[in-house]
Amino acid sequence: MNEHSELKTVNMPRIGDKAPEFRAITTQGDIHFPNDYRGRWVILFSHPADFTPVCTSEFMTFAKMENQFNQANCDLVGLSVDGLYSHIAWLRTIKEKIEYKGMKDIEVQFPLIEDIKMEVANKYGMIQPGEDSTKAVRAVFFIDPHGIIRTIIYYPLSLGRNFDEIYRVLVALQTADKFSVATPADWKPGDEVIVPPAGSCGVAKDRMENTEEDLKCYDWFFCTKKLKEEEIWNTILRKEPIAH
């Protein structure tokens, strides 16, 4: 018997799938996911364990940025396979004792799911047996207002996440949806966006002859246009205050 013969096959949801449904106990009360978040974006993310240093740095960063995510019409939901009382004790420790990179007195207000039986973690493929059979890897699921998974990012246990990138992905997804465009490598708000490829020879010819003044074409299939940063924020950002 080889060393991997007893490892279970993990069925992972894919981009474009409906987010697997579940009910769970959290530090903010019971939730019915993703039903409770209809009409809003949600980032569901897992972490390996409470009272661990990488996870502590991540939760402090997410908590510090929570209002920024909320203003972009997105809620945060965390998960680990620890129990509720462990979660509460850990979050209290973060608020009362931990100061890191200028962050102190950080209160985590988004829900943290109790998943002792690993039911949710297994539904979302967060348990990667080759990495660890009892801890969830650092998974990030971007789920749109219709409950559809739009992006998935996985990190190993040893690697802390890049939160600027997580926020950039959220804004880019909404920009693509609202303006019917795509975003190029390293895109950030204010940069040029990519327009859909020409659907006919006539359109391709017009583009190459620069008859569409707002486009910059590198070839018939690769054209960009300016999209003002304020247009993006005016469309994406919530205008009403965020209540907790």
Q: Homologous superfamily of 180-236 in CATH?
A: Antioxidant, Horf6; Chain A, domain2 (3.30.1020.10)
Average pLDDT, the chain: 88
**Mean of pLDDT values over 187-191:** 95
| pLDDT confidence band for 229 (50 / 70 / 90) | very high
Determine the pLDDT at residue 201: 53
Sign of CA dihedral 25, 26, 29, 32: negative
Angle at 136 between CA 155 and CA 33, to 5 degrees: 100
d(CA 216, CA 206): 12
pLDDT given at position 228:
92
CATH 3.40.30.10 residue ranges in the chain?
A: 22-174
pLDDT of residue 73: 95
pLDDT at 212 over 70: no
pLDDT at 5: 42
Least-confidence region, from 118-122, 126-130, 189-193, 234-238: 126-130
Does the annotation flag 138 for ligand binding? Answer: yes
Residue 93 CB contacts under 8 Å (≥ 6 apart), including other chains: 51
CB 141 within 8 A of CB 199: no
Write out pLDDT tens, residues 119-141. Answer: 999 899 888 777 666 677 889 99
Beta bridge partners of 32: 23
Q: Please report the pLDDT score of residue 12 as a whole number.
A: 82
Residues of the chain with CATH 3.30.1020.10: 180-236
Helices (H), 127-239: 163-179, 201-208, 229-236
- Which residues are bridge partners to 127 per DSSP? 136
Q: What's the whole-number mean pLDDT along residues 24-28?
A: 97
Residue 154 backbone dihedrals phi, psi, to 5 degrees = -120, 135
Q: What is the pLDDT of residue 134?
A: 61
Question: Is the distance from CB of 79 to CB of 112 less than 8 angstroms?
Answer: yes
Q: Exactly one of 55, 74, 217, 223 is catalytic; which is it?
A: 55
Asked whether the predicted pLDDT for residue 198 surpasses 80, the reply is no
Name the CA dihedral angle for 87, 93, 96, 98, rounded to a multiple of 10 degrees: -120
Fold of 22-174: Glutaredoxin (3.40.30)
Average pLDDT (66-79) is 96
Residue 3 confidence (pLDDT): 44
Q: Catalytic site residue 223?
A: no
Q: Per-residue pLDDT tens for 84-108?
A: 999 999 999 999 999 999 999 999 9
- Supply the DSSP string of 84-122, one letter for each residue: HHHHHHHHHHHHHH--BTTB-S----S-EEE-TT-HHHH
10: pLDDT strictly greater than 70: no
Low-confidence winner among 34-43, 82-91, 164-173, 211-220 (lowest mean pLDDT): 211-220
Q: Helix crossing, 229-236 with 163-179: angle to 10°?
A: 90
Any idea what DSSP says for residue 214? T
Please give the Cα distance from 105 to 103 (Å, whole number).
Answer: 7
Contact 147, 34 (CB under 8 A): yes
CA distance 231 to 211: 24
* Inter-residue contact 176 to 170 (CB < 8 Å): no
